[in-house]
Structure 1
Amino acid sequence: MRALDKLGSTIFEMLAHGLGLPNDFFAKNFEEKEATMIRINRYPPCPLPEKCLGLGSHSDPHTLTILLQDHVGGLQVLKNDNHWVGIRPVPNSFVINIGDTLEAWTNGRLKSVVHRAVVNREKRRLSVAYFISPSSSTTIDCPPQLVDPNTNPRKYKPFTWADFRKELLIQKRVVGKTALNRYLMN
């Protein structure tokens, strides 16, 4: 987990640099590990995979997800044209998902992706997801450098990670970006 934290910190520094922000803009908010978690998903073979999902469509509410897929695969992302596309597993690599909080923090410059997990007819599947989130008191508010009133107006109201988690708990089922949409401006 320490290695995944280090990888996450490096990714946050690279993203901040690429957005023209101080390198520690994101990373400094992740010193407490209260909301960081790891989840191992086991999907048994399913004789009717077209009738069953392993995990329904959603976006990750966390800031960043580091995902390890096994060789079977099953991760699908929703494209803008509402078609699902499979993400082919690449041995010895991770899939990095931008989470909803990072989308809000960057005023939509980085987008969280709606995705799902499908099951396989013949093979068992495993995936390991490491979800990185800031400390509860961190305010998710895009910096002024990422807002332009004419071309890129502010899209989200500021919120804390604790408030966002409460919104997630209110929902019975996360579908798409429903929690994040509650913070849209107008």
Structure 2
Amino acid sequence: MGVQSPNLARNKKTCRALGVPTIDLSMDRSVVSEQIIRACEEYGVFMITNHGVSNEIISRIEEETFDFFAKPAVEKHYSGPPNPFGYGCKTIGFHGDMGELEYLLLEANPSSVSQRSMALSNNPTRFSCVVNDYVQAVRGLTCDILDLVAEGLCLGDKSVLSRLINDVESDAVFRVNHYPPFDQSPKVLNPTADFQMRDDKFANNGDSSRVGFGEHSDPQILTILRSNDVGGLQICSHDGLWVPVPPNPTEFCVLVGDTFQALTNDRFKSVRHRVMANSNNKPRLSMMYFGTPSLDAMISPLPRMVSSHNAPLYKPFTWCEFKKAAYSLRLANRRLDLFRHNYNENSEKITQC
């Protein structure tokens, strides 16, 4: 059931929003393409089954990351703080955002993962191999989805989107979030060892529900998210309702990012989402692959998305410029607005990479 935002009346469209569509990738390609386009337009998020990523690859990455988070806090902190990559605890970004989690943030390329693994694992060779196998598998899945989108949008070049991700200079990121459980009894906090909760000022809108990772949209093109069987993820529907996404370890959750919104000239909308703090009796583990172009890739609405009746909404920008904007703002800020044609030119200027 969705949680209604303040001062928002229910309407008939709300019924459509109470749920996230699931798409079976083993179906006829034209059907899958059509369903993905519809999901990106109406929800900005969808679940996928029969995705082709093996259970072995998934179980190995889950085991390695759980092993890392089970280490004593002092050992984990040797791998941080994230600047921007490495181990982080509670602090999200550089502007005061906090969450009830700890995480690993890695560049999604083999050489960087190999280097970072030295500080993350007692067996860095195994750790880097496991991470790189997972990243390679979900990168391929991301490219398949983008090719299906290109077909559904009738783009002349069917690889125009996936080529942005396949670029050897892709700035893709791999993130693992770990949400330890806590006791929600009034005035009683009982976090797992080495994980101290924040005080009540970080509660969600003053109620008893704590936010584990605050409201935001992802700046990249697509996010491929996989979690274990512990819930917490919520997406904000176009009607302003927070809709829980039931956990299913056999599925992946695909989220439209800000850059995809710009590429489609707002035909697709990046989905705002959050994760509630974990009140389950076991940890929540979620893994995100952020499909991203190279730093110098130019982003502007695709020609197919523009016409005499549908002018381009965004100024051309590089991923480097947009990434700078993302790091310069708070988590919940709508960074894409900085690049709209009607945005106030006297606003804060984004520095170059």
Whether TM-score is above 0.5 comes out as: yes
The one-character-per-residue Cα deviations of 1:4-29 (angstroms, maximum 9, x if unpaired) are: 11111111111111111121111122
The one-character-per-residue Cα deviations of 1:78-102 (angstroms, maximum 9, x if unpaired) are: 1122220001122311000111001
Counterpart residue number, 2:138: 4
From 147, 152, 163, give the equivalent of 1:28.
163
Counterpart residue number, 1:91: 249
Distance in 1 (CA, whole Å) between partners of 2:265 and 2:315 is 10
Counterpart residue number, 1:13: 147
The AA in structure 1 aligned to 2:337 is N
Counterpart residue number, 1:174: 331
- Kindly report the root-mean-square deviation, in angstroms, between the aligned alpha carbons of the 2 structures: 1.5
TM-score by length of 1: 0.92
The AA in structure 1 aligned to 2:292 is S
Distance in 2 (CA, whole Å) between partners of 1:27 and 1:131 is 13
Higher helix share: 2
TM-score by length of 2: 0.50
The one-character-per-residue Cα deviations of 1:110-143 (angstroms, maximum 9, x if unpaired) are: 2110000012323321111111100111111112
Q: Report how many aligned residue pairs link the two structures.
A: 183
Quote the offset at 1:158 in angstroms. Answer: 1.1
Contact 1:119–1:125 (Cα < 8 Å) also in 2: no
Counterparts of 1:73-84 in structure 2 under 5 Å? 73-84=231-242
Indicate the structure (1 or 2) with the bigger Cα radius of gyration.
2
The AA in structure 2 aligned to 1:29 is L
Distance in 1 (CA, whole Å) between partners of 2:290 and 2:270 is 13
Is 1:127 the counterpart of 2:286 in the alignment? Answer: yes
Contiguous gaps of at least 5 residues in structure 2: 1-134, 185-202, 343-353
Quote the offset at 1:183 in angstroms. Answer: 0.9
Distance in 2 (CA, whole Å) between partners of 1:2 and 1:107 is 29
Contact 1:68–1:95 (Cα < 8 Å) also in 2: yes
Structure 1 stretch displaced more, 33-42 or 69-78 = 33-42
Distance in 1 (CA, whole Å) between partners of 2:308 and 2:275 is 38
Q: Percent identity?
A: 37
Structure 2 CA distance for partners of 1:37 and 1:67, relative to 1, 3 Å: same
Counterpart residue number, 1:137: 296
Structure 2 CA distance for partners of 1:181 and 1:121, relative to 1, 3 Å: same
